[in-house]
Amino acid sequence: MSRRAAAGSPSRASAADLRPRLSPNATVLVACLAFFVITLDTTVVNVALPSIGAQWDGQVSALQWVVTAYTLLFAALLLSAGAISDRIGASRAFTIGLSVFTLMSALCGLAPSLDVLIIARAMQGAGAAVMMPASLALVRQAYDDPSLRARGIAWWTAGGGAAVAAGPVVGGALTTGLGWRWIFFINLPVGVVALVGMLRAPRSARGQAPMDPVGQVTAVLALAALVFAVINGGSSGWTDAATVAGFVVAVIAAAVFLAAESRQSNPAVPLSLFRNPAVAVCTSTGLALNLGYYGLVFVFTIFFQEHRGASALMAGVMFIPMTAFTTLVNLLAGKLTNRHGPRLPLVIGQIIQTLGILGLLFVTEDTPTPLLLALLVPLGIGGGLAIPPLTTAMLESVPHERAGLASGVLSAARQFGGAIGVALLGALIADSAHFMTGMRISLIIGAALLIVTTLGVVRFLPAGHQHVSAPQPGPAVATADIVPASADEPRTS
């Protein structure tokens, strides 16, 4: 080693040692704040859509993109986000993702046109995708003690749960009181505080995680083309040239993706993972649950405001019973999973959600509000009961060394389910003259998918706990993007 290097190393080390550091609890708080805002942005926008549409005379198809642009990029980039976090270090990935998310939140709030808003929302989703696995990695790195780590993870999931419950109300209150732009401006102080905190957070080590650029690009293209085709089909017709072209591009991109993944030595999504029927059914179930949840929240947001005359604030308040039960039932789901294994609560949760969807078939524009709110509650109960055991079932179906990968695949599937749910169900209500017919078809589709996945769970998931491996607690909650796993979850899986 040269004399200069020998002399320089201690000074650099000393400077690093003297740099003030965040405590482990403060680091976890920063990660939880970030997870809160990226989860909040999956639901906070819905109740503001009629106000956004009124400003620019946007049709339902354009408003769908305000929601799906975020979830689409979030879903697709999650396939590589974990590898990016490992490769450049969780602290760097978190800072980059948070910076993009915060800047794009400002652009969303200042957007001069609907097109700019949609583009900024897509970039927001990209930042959120990079940030999410990195935030969980920061929580895991903050504590050496397993019990403290489990507590940190529980706080992380609680941040997501609070965001799910608060999203519609926060969105409605801000839209009614200050205007829809403030649902994006509210992210700015949180982003700045978290970024300042990251200046003092311990730096994460870089790794050698392999990347799969071909798989990532083709996945984004396939998902985007499919969502475009579905949305355009609802507004311009299913035989429209652009709609047909979208489906063709989606099929070609998906074929290239599958071919690339089958030949890659380190694919983003190893196709061999799906040879296990339990993995395939868990992934399908996650997609179906979010398709119904996201899609129906979008549909009923439009229904509350444009067909029942509710304000944005009142529309947000009307979702409180549903989201509150989601958070409460998470705790029960963890206990049931501990005692009976994941299959029983997963089946019960899907059955409750299916019955709730079927009950909504009888809703009309004149249905009394208390009855309407009561009919929405089973959606929250079913989702809250199903998601934690679904996470556990997915992780128990794979060897320990593939737990992180399985977690990322399930999370991406759920996010994509949300995107395609808004696209598909929104397309069915695009014609305002036939809104109620479209809404009922949407409900039938949501119920039918859940019936199929429930039968799949009964057929392919064994009763009780599987013991393929004993996954570490961290990845068990990485899928907590819409309906978070409970605090019990890390200790059960």
- Looking at residue 416, its pLDDT comes to 85
Q: Which of 41, 46, 42, 117 is nearest to 310 (CA)?
A: 46
Q: Which of 320, 378, 318 is nearest to 349 (CA)?
A: 378
Q: How many CB atoms sit inside 10 A of residue 470's CB?
A: 10
- Looking at residue 66, its pLDDT comes to 87
Assess contact for 452 and 347: CB atoms under 8 A.
Answer: no
For the chain, 493 residues long, the average pLDDT of each consecutive 10-residue run is: 44 44 77 83 82 78 83 81 73 87 93 91 90 77 70 70 78 86 90 82 63 80 88 83 93 91 78 86 90 86 86 85 80 78 89 92 89 89 85 78 72 85 85 84 91 92 63 34 34 31
Distance CA 209, CA 12 (A): 27
3-state secondary structure of 112: coil
Distance CA 357, CA 444 (A): 8
Distance CA 428, CA 419 (A): 15
Q: How many CB atoms sit inside 10 A of residue 491's CB?
A: 16
Q: How many CB atoms sit inside 10 A of residue 10's CB?
A: 9
Residue type at 209 in one-letter notation: A
Q: Which of 103, 137, 132 is nearest to 42 (CA)?
A: 132
Assess contact for 292 and 421: CB atoms under 8 A.
Answer: yes
Distance CA 423, CA 305 (A): 19
- Looking at residue 410, its pLDDT comes to 83
Distance CA 461, CA 116 (A): 45
Q: Which fold has domain 23-212+266-492?
A: Growth Hormone; Chain: A; (1.20.1250)
- Looking at residue 402, its pLDDT comes to 67
